[in-house]
Amino acid sequence: MEERNGSNFNEFDFDREEEEQKRKRQEQRINRQKERRRHQLWRLAAGIFAAACVCILAGAFAATRLGDKEKAPIQQEDSGAGQTQEQGEQPAEAGQSGDQPGETGEGEADELAQAGNVSDVQAEVIEDPDELQGEDDTAAGTASDMSGSGPDTRPVFDGDIAALDNTLQNWGQGVQFDDWMRPTAAVAAQEKYSKYSADFVRTETEDKIIYLTFDEGYENGYTEKILDVLKEKKCPAVFFVTQPYVEQEPELVRRMIDEGHIVGNHSVNHPSAGVASLPRQEQEEELLGLHDYVKENFGYEMSLFRYPAGKFSEQSLAIVQSIGYTSVFWSFAHADWDPANQPDEAASLQKLMNRLHPGAIYLLHAVSATNTNILGQFIDQARAAGYEFRPYR
User: Is the CB of residue 267 less than 8 Å from the CB of residue 308?
Assistant: yes
> What is the distance between the terminal CA atoms of the chain, rounded to a whole angstrom?
68
In whole angstroms, give the CA distance from residue 360 to residue 202: 6
Q: Is 98 left (phi over 0), alpha (psi -120 to 50) or beta?
A: left
Max CA separation in the chain (angstroms): 121
Catalytic annotation present for 365 = yes
Catalytic annotation present for 228 = no
In whole angstroms, give the CA distance from residue 336 to residue 346: 13
Task: List the beta bridge partners of residue 238.
Answer: 213, 262
Residue closest to 62 by CA, chosen among 112, 127, 101, 115: 112
Q: Which of 110, 152, 215, 336 is catalytic?
A: 215
Pairing of strands 326-328, 311-312: unpaired
Neighbour-count burial of 45, counting CB atoms closer than 10 A to its CB (0-12 exposed, 13-18 middle, 19+ buried): exposed
DSSP state of 102: T
Give percent helix, percent strand, percent coil of the chain, each to the nearest 5.
50, 10, 40
> What are the φ/ψ torsions at residue 388 (nearest 5 degrees)?
-120, 135
Pairing of strands 209-216, 360-365: parallel
Q: Which residues lie below 8 Å from residue 121, measured CB to CB, with a gap of 6+?
A: 54, 57, 58, 61, 109, 110, 112, 113
Q: Which residues are catalytic?
A: 215, 365
